[in-house]
Amino acid sequence: MLYLHGDNTFLAKTALNNYTMNTWKENALCASRKLNLVSTQEINHVLLALASKAEEKCDDLLAENQKDLAAMEKSNPLYDRLLLTKQRIYDIASDIRKVASLPSPVGNVLESRELPNGLKLTKKAVPFGVIGIIYEARPNVSFDVFSLCFKTGNVCVLKGGTDAYNSNFAIVSLIKEVLKENNLDENMVHLLPAGREATGDLLNAVGYVDLIIPRGSAGLIKYVRENAMVPVIETGAGVVHCYFDKDADLAKGKAIIENAKTRRVSVCNALDCLVIHKDRLSDLPAICSGLIQEKEVVIEADDAAYTALQGHYPAELLTQANAESFGKEFMAHRMSIKTANSLRDAIDHISTYSSKHSESIVTENEEAAASFLQEIDASCVYHNAPTSFTDGGQFGMGAEIGISTQKLHARGPMALPELTTYKWLIVGNGQTRP
């Protein structure tokens, strides 16, 4: 495996870890200055080369991924996130090519004007510089983050979890190989060791790291937010709701709910709580029928929903909801159901328990839809569509770096524009201030 730079994988990883811990900050800062001088054409060429290299080395990447998978129980909700397949690697390569094809926001003139004194002002988009990413068992993030950061002229420092370290090491080594083949500084990407010491080092890298983006569980995000000395963009956990209104179309709603819940249960846009109008409880068995087949979704239902489902949903998959059933990101084949007396009741429930990620309403009532879209405070709010579309690729952005649930600078799927900041350029002709 060429990307491991030697036959002894353990020694290679140990050497990388020692090197990374001792010198990564200075090297990343230096590489950032170099990357600032690389043309968009060169960047696109490297990304296309990386996509081809990922396909070429697919079997090697899968072999390293199997080492990580072997250490995790298949029943673990993170297993699917950790899993790489040939198709997923080819999809990743396709996403990298999409990023290469997108226009770069770097250098875009955001504003320009001339002052009465003759000073010419230009507000221009520029890279952040060095971006740190902390993430858990999702090795695809290593590719996604690099491609987006590299496209926008940012060095990326990756801090993955122990669960995916073999996969991440192989991916980053492959990226470094492509950079070297194109006569670029391999320090334009860094992989930090999986231990907590490296996390602390990254969170406190003031003056070296310009921005940190955490991706993962609510616990991880909370830890980063509370301990980082470097600015943070939160990519919050997804506690996702779908409201089935009294005027909802049954066929539409059934398909939307099935897709949002069962497409991939381990992703942040997966449905966690179905809120249903009391007048439509009789439709609940039909709505939930698709959750039984193969997927075997466990339902935690409030009293009214539980009664409506009794005798129509497998008893072993139907439980009564408690206080812990709501406001929870399940990341599993499990979902809660809340009965609402009105649209207002549904909005109030969702507003209480939402993580401000993605929320949806199913209704043919345009007035109800408009109220929901206006009042629900989330990064993505849907009408008659599943929350599974909350994805940078689905939004036409190419690969995404995360889904921001905060309101400063970036919100929702973040791609190229969100990885830039700006600076003011002021050109004068000898003017002085009175």
Three-state secondary structure of 2-69: HHHCCCCHHHHHHHHHHHHHHHHHHHHHHHHHHHCCCCHHHHHHHHHHHHHHHHHCHHHHHHHHHHHH
The CATH code that applies to domain 2-236+406-427 is: 3.40.605.10
CB of 289 within 8 A of CB of 283?
A: no
Let me know how long the chain is: 434
Residue of 95, 197, 210 whose CA lies nearest to 146: 95
Domain-by-domain residue ranges, the chain? 2-236+406-427, 241-389
Residue 6: predicted pLDDT: 41
Q: Which CATH number does the domain 241-389 belong to among 3.30.420.40, 3.40.190.290, 3.40.309.10, 3.90.470.20?
A: 3.40.309.10
Residue of 66, 390, 70 whose CA lies nearest to 237: 390
Q: Is the pTM of this model over 0.75?
A: yes
434 residues of the chain, pLDDT tens digit each = 444 444 445 545 655 555 555 689 999 999 999 999 999 999 999 999 999 999 999 999 999 999 999 999 998 878 988 999 999 999 999 989 999 999 999 999 999 999 999 999 999 999 999 999 999 888 999 999 999 999 999 999 999 989 999 999 999 999 999 999 999 999 999 999 988 889 999 999 999 999 999 987 778 888 999 999 999 998 867 899 999 999 999 999 999 999 999 998 888 899 999 999 999 999 999 999 999 876 789 999 999 999 999 999 999 999 999 999 999 999 889 999 999 999 999 999 999 999 999 999 999 999 999 999 999 999 999 999 999 999 877 887 766 788 888 887 788 888 899 999 999 999 999 999 99
DSSP per residue, 236-272: -----EEEE-TT--HHHHHHHHHHHHHS-TTSTTS--
Q: Which amino acid is at 147?
A: S
- The CA distances from residue 11 to 20, 40, 172, in Å, are 14, 36, 16
CB of 167 within 8 A of CB of 64?
A: yes
Residue 315: predicted pLDDT: 95
Residue of 313, 260, 308, 264 whose CA lies nearest to 282: 308
Residue 398: predicted pLDDT: 64
CB of 35 within 8 A of CB of 155?
A: yes
CB of 238 within 8 A of CB of 273?
A: no
Residue 7: predicted pLDDT: 43
Give, as one character, the DSSP assignment of residue 144.
Answer: H
DSSP per residue, 186-199: GGGEEE--SSHHHH
Three-state secondary structure of 297-321: CEEEECHHHHHHHCCCCCHHHEEEC
**What b-and-e string marks burial along 40-54, b requiring 16 or more CB atoms within 10 Å of the CB?**
eeebbebbbbbbebb
Q: Helix 140-151 crosses helix 86-101 at what angle (to 10 degrees)?
A: 10
Helix-strand-coil split of the chain, %, nearest 5: 45, 20, 35
